[in-house]
Amino acid sequence: MPFNIRLAMGLGGVPPYDTHRAYLWEKRLHWPMLVMTLLAIPAFYLGELAAEPHLKILGRLLDAVVLLAFSAELLLMLRVSRQRTRYLLHNWLSLAIIVATALSLLIGHLPGELSALLRLMRFALAGLLIARLANQLRSITPGSTPYILLLGFGLMLLSGAGFYWLEPTVLSYWDGVWLAFTSGLTVGYGDLTPTTHAARLFASLVIVLTYGMMSLVTASLAAFFVGQEERRMRLEMHHDLKALRQEISDLRTQLTVTHAKQPADENTVS
């Protein structure tokens, strides 16, 4: 059996020969779970870098939302899947995200000497979620372009809020959006630059995500034009098949008429 990197990473999806409902629900949950995965980014920064208590509480609430969303997704997919054990083996990453998020929430209530363990847990969780995000963004279809553009727009708005919060030289939210735009597209005009370690780390993440998003936009546009060409070819093939069927029908009619005339001709000769 050939090595499958997606199965090894716990990103196998619904196993082959499963129920139709399992494939249907996997498709339905794709975009909602993509949004839930993106929510983990502000949750990570609020939990790790926020100094204000109310922002840390907000980060924990976002972690709880992510935990509930992934738990609900896994339980639903196990309910509609016929191969439950195989589904868990193929998608162990989802279970790891649930466990890591739950432990991260629980460790937050433990004594301060375990803060290093909490930070390690959060970084591990961020890595798992990035792997899940990359897998969710792999499926590009001609109809995905509006969703990807909307997702990119939302990413810029969220990134602007992140820079407004993390970077002291950014004095307004729209300046933060501008910094997110110039950082993500690597334009780098120099009028605004990240100066703190937190802002630089955040800028690195924005650049990686924006590069990925732009690649998805390009791929979705290419898929759209390829899909148009395939649709045209399918229409031509359908027209040719229809014409071929008509020719075969005409030949059958002609043969039937010919066979019907043969007895009459024989009687005439005799």
The pTM of the whole model exceeds 0.75: no
Instruction: Give the start-to-end residue ranges of the domains of the chain.
Output: 1-139, 141-270
What pLDDT does 1 receive? Answer: 45
Planar angle of CA 222, 225, 231, nearest 5 degrees? 135
Q: Which of 65, 59, 76, 70 is nearest to 33 (CA)?
A: 70
Comparing 133 with 192, which gets the higher pLDDT?
Answer: 192
**Considering only the top CATH level, what class is 141-270?**
mainly alpha
Look up residue 102 and give its two tokens: 């739950």
What pLDDT does 79 receive? Answer: 93
Task: Report the chain's mean pLDDT, rounded to a whole number.
Answer: 77
Comparing 105 with 82, which gets the higher pLDDT?
Answer: 82
Which distant-in-sequence residues (6+ apart) come within 8 Å of 74 by Cβ? 91, 94, 95, 98
**Span 144-166, average pLDDT:** 78
Helix (H) or strand (E) run with residue 115 in it: helix 115-136
pLDDT band at 39 (very low <50, low <70, confident <90, very high): confident
Q: CA 182, CA 200: separation in Å to the nearest integer?
A: 13
What pLDDT does 262 receive? Answer: 67
Which distant-in-sequence residues (6+ apart) come within 8 Å of 36 by Cβ? 65, 66, 69, 70
**Span 147-173, average pLDDT:** 82
Report helix, strand or coil for 160.
helix
Q: What torsion do the CA atoms of 122, 126, 127, 133 make, to the nearest 10 degrees?
A: 160
| Lowest mean pLDDT, pick from 14-18, 83-87, 130-134, 231-235 | 130-134
Look up residue 77 and give its two tokens: 């997919």
What pLDDT does 106 receive? Answer: 77
